[in-house]
């Protein structure tokens, strides 16, 4: 998963951007922290949708990390994932 996409997803869960001044506000804010403009109902719906997608992106990243911690190697080709278990050989000398 690319870092930029993950960073953006994390940021969207921490706050919401203003369409007018681009300042970031708390997720539950009704007014922009920068220009104090009230967020519209349409902006609220757009942000909720984006936050839902961001949450799914974070969840996907958590699943990948959990798989890696279990020793599963993920090969993603064309959006599809195949799994195979990594094995390690330890030689004692």
pLDDT tens-place string over residues 55-72: 999 999 898 888 888 777
C-alpha distance across the termini of the chain, in Å: 38
The residue ranges of the chain whose pLDDT is under 50 are 77-78, 80, 83, 85-93
Q: Supply the pLDDT for residue 86.
A: 47
* H helices present in 1-40, as ranges: 3-14
pLDDT at 77: 40
pLDDT of residue 89: 45
CA distance readout (Å), 11 to 8, 14, 35, 79? 5, 5, 20, 24
């Amino acid at each position: 998963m690319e870092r930029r996409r993950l960073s953006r997803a994390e940021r969207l869960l921490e706050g919401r951007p203003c369409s007018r001044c681009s300042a970031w506000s708390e997720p539950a804010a009704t007014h922009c922290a920068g220009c104090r403009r009230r967020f519209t109902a349409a902006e609220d719906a757009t942000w909720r949708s984006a936050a839902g997608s961001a949450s799914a992106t974070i969840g996907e990243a958590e699943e990948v990390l959990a798989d890696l911690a279990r020793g599963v190697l993920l090969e993603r080709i064309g959006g599809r994932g195949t799994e195979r278990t990594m094995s390690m050989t330890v030689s004692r000398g």
